[in-house]
Every structure is written in structure tokens, then in C-alpha cells.
Amino acid sequence: MIALENIEKSFGDNPVLKGVSVVVPEGNVTALIGASGSGKSTLLRCVNLLEIPQAGRVSIDDTSISFTPDGKPDRTAMLALRRKTGMVFQNFQLFPHRTVVENVMEALVTVKKWPRDKARQRALELLDKVGMTAKADAWPASLSGGQQQRVAIARALAPSPKVLLCDEPTSALDPQLAVEVVEVLAQLAREGTTMLMATHDLRLASTIASNVVYLDGGHVVEAGPARQVFGAPADPRTRTFISTLT
Ligand code: ADP
Ligand code: MG
């Protein structure tokens, strides 16, 4: 499971996260919702340590790091934590000069030092899972956005992360292409992939998330089962925000 405890993160004098706690049980999908600028991406980036929190604690599985405003976290521990995560970005971010299968193999070969044959085998299995086998040797630029995002999901899953972090995985896609990405994520959810995803795609959140966390003003305003948060939000701010989702 993953636990974020009292995470604080400021940029200069802009406090973005003011003590945010989120728990994602193993096998659970949690959707992070909130207005643009509410800190969803920052929180995801604090999980894989692309941003370093000034306070709080991040735990994934058996690895845990506490943060202080001036203490530098141990590099080895940071690396260990980061390797338990896989990240899917809004704009895919595939390596443009590598083919589809090479994109998926990359971390296995360079980080995990797998032999290329074994890495390619695993990459092809993952491409099959996301329905992209036929494009294994294609270049990213020749794919639709939905296809690129499915490859990006396969790439993020290749090193078997404990948690898949998704930052607005469908928001760069028009609705028809978003559907194929929602279907892939839904299948992963059914298979028990632990996910924390920032999204304002109500269809994505309500089809696959079992829990929802609503972030506003640097705080968690409301968190709970998706059915409850979407169906009967307790806080008026949540109610207002949810009515803006499409
Ligand atoms: P969201 O993903 O919910 O739209 P973000 O986490 O991207 O929100 O941003 C939250 C706030 O943090 C915004 O005010 C944004 O300008 C600020 N911010 C995010 N990243 C940085 C950064 N690297 N440097 C300075 N400010 C940042
Ligand atoms: Mg964002």
C-alpha cells in the first residue's frame, strides 16, 4: 500500500500542499480530483520524488522516507522509493527516437540490466495487454494519442511498480481516443493494479476509482468511497466542484 502523511510542499512563498494525507490500499484505485492549480500534479510528483516535500512522510510497501525543510533525504532511499512507482503523464512523453517496443524495454535494460531478449519478451507481453502488439516496431510519432498513451502505460508497468501514478492520463485526448485509454486502465484496475490518478475526467474516475480524494486550498477537503463522494458529497465545496466535471 502507499501512504502519504502530512505532505507539505511550497514553491517559494506559494504553499501548494499544506499537510496532505492520502492512503491507497494495495489493489485500490484512488482518483485525485481538484481544480486546476490545486496541487494534484505536485502531490503525484511528491510520491515519485520528482518534487521533494518539505515535510511529511511517503511510504510505499516497505520503503518509507520522512522529509524535513532542510534535511536532505538519503539518495539510496529516494531511488528505492522511486523505483516502486511508474508514472503516466498527460502528454505521453514517449522517447521519440525509440520504437514502441524499445520504449517499453528501456527501463528493463538500462535500470534493471535485463538482457535485451528477456526485456523484449516482457515488453511484448505488456504491449499485448494494452492492445498494441501490432505496433511494436512503429515509431511513436506514427501513433494516435490514445495509442501513444497505451504504450506509455505499458512502459510505466514494465519494471513492475507497486503503484501506477497517472497524471490526467486522458486529458490530452479527444473523447473517442480517451475511451481506449479508460478501457486499458479499467482492465488494469480489475487485475488489481494499485493506482493513484489525478483526473478531471468524471467517466474515468467514476468507472475505475474505488476511492476519491478532493483537494482544495492545499488540503484534502473530502475523501471516501467514489460512490459516496460523487453521489452524496458531504462538503459543499466538493458538491460545487463535482458539478463542474464532465
Ligand atoms: P494541478 O495539477 O492540480 O493543476 P499543480 O500541482 O500543477 O496543480 O500546481 C499547483 C500549484 O503549484 C500551482 O500554483 C503551480 O503554479 C505551482 N507549481 C507547480 N509546479 C511548480 C514549480 N515547479 N515551480 C513553481 N510553482 C509550481
Ligand atoms: Mg496537473
Whether pLDDT at 15 is above 90: yes
Which of ligand 1's atoms lies nearest the C-alpha of 35? 3
User: Pairing relation of β-strands 163-167 and 195-198?
Assistant: parallel
Closest ligand to residue 34's CA: 1
Give the ligand whose atoms come closest to the C-alpha of residue 9: 1
For 67-71, 113-117, 185-189, 227-231, which range has the lowest pLDDT when averaged over its residues?
67-71
Ligand 1 binding pocket mutation candidate from 9, 16, 17, 91 (most atoms within 8 A of CB):
16
Kindly report the backbone phi and psi dihedral angles of residue 161, in degrees, each rounded to the nearest multiple of 5, phi listed first: -70, 160
ipTM surpassing 0.85, yes or no?
yes
* Distance of CA 37 from the midpoint of ligand 2 (Å): 7
Condensed to tens digits (0 to 9), the pLDDT of residues 187-208 reads 999 999 999 999 988 888 988 9
Distance 167 CA to ligand 2 centre (A): 6
Whether the pLDDT of residue 246 is over 80: the answer is no
Which atom of ligand 1 is least distant from the CA of 215? 3
pLDDT at 201: 86
The model's pTM is: 0.96
**pLDDT-based confidence at 155, cuts 50/70/90?**
very high
- Look at residue 120 and tell me whether its pLDDT is greater than 80: yes
Q: How far is the CA of 34 from the centre of ligand 2 (A)?
A: 9
**133 CA → ligand 1 middle, Å:** 36
Q: Whose CA is nearest to atom 24 of ligand 1?
A: 11
